[in-house]
Amino acid sequence: MTKRAAFAQLSSCWGCDQSLVDLHLKLLDVLPELEIVYWPAVVDYKLKDLENLPDRSIHFGFVEGSCRTREDEHLLRTMRAKSKVLVAWGSCSCYGGVQGLANQWTLKELLERKFLKAETITDGRIPDENVPGFKEDIRPNPDVVPFDVLLPGCPPTSDNTAEALSALLAGQPFDLPEKTVCDQCPKVREEKHIKVVHRTHEGKVDPERCLLDQGYLCLGFATIGMCGAQCPSVNTPCKGCFGPPPGIKDHGAKIISALGAIAEMSPEELKEAFPDPLGSFYFTDYAASYLSRLVGHTKEEEQ
């Protein structure tokens, strides 16, 4: 019997869908077992097509993106109502995504920056007609509705999504691994003594040695290992896009904890070393951090 699947897109970059489509011919392994009832990223479905389905009639509902608009939240709640198993698909969905970094500012500041003060804009105005309206801040989707499966990654690799789909089809659990990107990384590691932090474009990378040992901020040690260490394998530091392994409550706290243990730098040098610590330590999961939650409370208080 085929299983009914739906793929919904909230505010996002479409990368998770792209990664699924990148399976190419391997898609044929799973497609015959799926009846796709909603996938507007690829086929012309409308919201009412989803709304008209009976509750809990979708076996697997995949949600990409996070709630920046009220319409996103409506779509998310609709997906929850219609789906038996709801999958947070990608880091946007699991943690809020890159757009979660916007939680550093109020909605008013963001709207003014984007619609009135952007360098390319003359005669700007903030759109307020025929648009669904923005949410005050970004929250991880699991704070809004309960999820059954988390599949992080920005995006999850094609294989990650294929594996999750296969597990769901086989009725097996899909659990996140405890291992880190470092556990998957081929680089040679030494005892760590970080004396200077390089920006990614500075210096010359030794392709054999661990990037962190060479002073590049590679976050593999604090990041869940699901991608096969694809960035360090091509000499690019891990930005932590899959978020932390399960059990780690706060990605940035984990990162500064580890940096504190290996950095042999004065307090002044450390301060200088990270011009944008939130952006560097919470690339896709600031909205899920203690800090963002604390600030969220402050904003509500002010209103």
Partner 1 sequence: MTATTQRAASRTKAKERARFEPRIVAFCCNWCSYAGADLAGTSRMQMPPNIRIIRVNCTGRIDPSFILDALYEGADGVLVSGCHPGDCHYTSGNLRMRSRYVLLKRLLEQAGIEPERVHLQWASAAEGDVFAQGVTDMVERIRRLGPNPVRRRR
What does 110 interact with, of ligand SF4, partner 1, none (CB < 5 to 8 A by kind)?
none
Task: Look at the block and give the residue holding tokens 């604390």.
Answer: 294
Q: Which of 26, 41, 30 is nearest to 2 (CA)?
A: 30
- Residue type at 114? K
Work out how close the CB of 105 gets to partner 1 at its nearest, in angstroms, rounded to a whole number. 9
Q: Per CB under 8 A, which region of 158-166, 218-226, 229-237, 271-279 contacts partner 1?
A: 271-279
Q: What string marks each residue from 35 to 64 as x (binds ligand SF4 by CB under 6 A) or -?
A: -----------------------------x
- CA-to-CA dists, residue 139 to 14, 48, 109, 224, 280, angstroms: 19, 25, 18, 21, 19
Kindly tell me which residue out of 252, 283, 287, 288 binds partner 1, with binding defined by CB under 8 A: 252
The distance of closest approach from Cβ of residue 214 to ligand SF4 in the complex, given in angstroms and rounded to an integer, is 8
221 binds, among ligand SF4, partner 1, none (CB under 5 to 8 A by kind): ligand SF4
256 lines the binding site for partner 1 (CB under 8 A): yes
Q: How many helices (H) and strands (E) does the chain have?
A: 13, 5
Sheet containing strand 149-151, strands side by side: 34-38, 3-9, 58-64, 83-89, 149-151
When asked if residue 155 is in the footprint of ligand SF4 (CB under 6 A), the reply is: yes
Query: Residue 38 has which token pair?
Result: 């909603």
Q: Return the CA Rg of the chain.
A: 21
Q: Which of 250, 283, 287, 288 binds partner 1 (CB under 8 A)?
A: 250
Q: Which stretch binds ligand SF4 (CB under 6 A): 34-42, 89-97, 194-202, 268-276?
A: 89-97
Smaller CB distance to ligand SF4: residue 53 or 185?
185
Helices (H), 118-157: none
Residue with tokens 């059990």: 247
Beta strands in 146-291 (DSSP E): 149-151
Of 219, 254, 283, 285, the residue at the interface with partner 1 (CB under 8 A) is 254
Q: How remote is the C-alpha of 196 from its chain's centroid?
A: 29
Fill in the per-residue mask, 117 to 146: x = in contact with ligand SF4 (CB under 6 A), - = not in contact: ------------------------------
Q: Are 8 and 38 in contact (CB under 8 A)?
A: yes
In this structure, the strands spanning 3-9 and 83-89 are unpaired
Catalog residues that contact ligand SF4 under the rule CB under 6 A: 12-13, 15-16, 64-65, 90-92, 97-98, 154-155, 181-182, 185, 187, 189, 210-212, 218, 220-221, 223, 227, 229-232, 238-242
Catalog residues that contact partner 1 under the rule CB under 8 A: 104, 249-250, 252-254, 256-257, 259-261, 263, 265, 267, 270-271, 274, 276-278, 281, 290-295, 297-298, 300-301
